[in-house]
Structure 1
Amino acid sequence: MICLCEEQEIFDLKLEGDFGADPIWCISCGCNIDLEEMPLSDELKNELLNWVLDFGKWIDIVHEKWLPNGSYLENAHNTRGRSLVEKIQGELGKAYTITFISSNMSNS
């Protein structure tokens, strides 16, 4: 895994949804980590890609407003993200720290 940190060894990661980006980031420098470089199972990589593709489906971006059930959809996305953190942690082991950054558009 490559990031912009001087050490180039990444042990502190965050899972965070964003538009058009893989969902794992270096917590120190903020670099987006290429999911293909992660030592994770293909099954988990697919789950992560599906999760991040659902990011923002609770808002109408063009009109900048919530969609019906937007708060519920955002909460479901965050719940699924927390579950994925546990799976990532399980596959990477204790050498890594994975932090979940929830979507908080409902608080914006």
Structure 2
Amino acid sequence: MQYCGSHKLKKLRVQADISADPLWCDRCLTNLDIDDFSLSKGLKQDLQEWIYDYGKWIDWENDGIVPNGVLLEQQHNDRGAELTKKVKQTLEGQYEVVFFPSTFAKIIVGD
């Protein structure tokens, strides 16, 4: 796959965001189609479920966090780290895979 101009995709980022697939080019931050990767149906489903949970700690109306928001974000990040390990194992030798956790709640509370 070609991204970042003419550079070959070498490093993937697993990151949650609203209405986006969980895989990104770590260099240019292009959101990548999860179906372009040889992941099992079960792992793809787990990643999609993880994405759907993104932002449950955010109070969208008040641009803040919900009660226990820091804990909810940490639980989401813990799950993302687990899933990243599975992606790494599956794509070993093809791509370097890194996890990029959410930091919204921690930034809001100044942690």
Scaled by the length of structure 2, the TM-score of the pair is 0.88
- Aligned residue for 1:40, secondary structure, equals coil
Gaps of 5+ in 1: none
Residue in 2 that maps onto 1:87: 86
Pairing of 1:1-108 with structure 2 (within 5 A): 1=1, 3-7=3-7, 9-105=8-104, 106-108=106-108
Distance in structure 1 (CA, Å) of the matches to 2:91 and 2:28: 20
Query: C-alpha distance in 2, partners of 1:60/1:2?
Result: 37
CA apart distance, 1:28: 1.5
Whole-angstrom CA distance in 2 between matches of 1:5 and 1:55: 30
Deviation at 1:5, TM superposition (A): 3.6
SS of the aligned residue for 1:55 comes to coil
Once the two structures are superposed, residues 21-74 of structure 1 have per-residue CA deviations (whole angstroms, 9 ceiling, x without a partner) of 111100112110001111110100001111111111101111212112111100
Moved over 6 A (4+): none
- Whether the 8 Å contact between 1:11 and 1:96 is mirrored in structure 2 is yes
CA RMSD after TM alignment: 1.4
- How many residue pairs align between the two structures? 107
Amino acid at match of 1:30: L
Distance 1:28 1:5, change over 3 A: farther
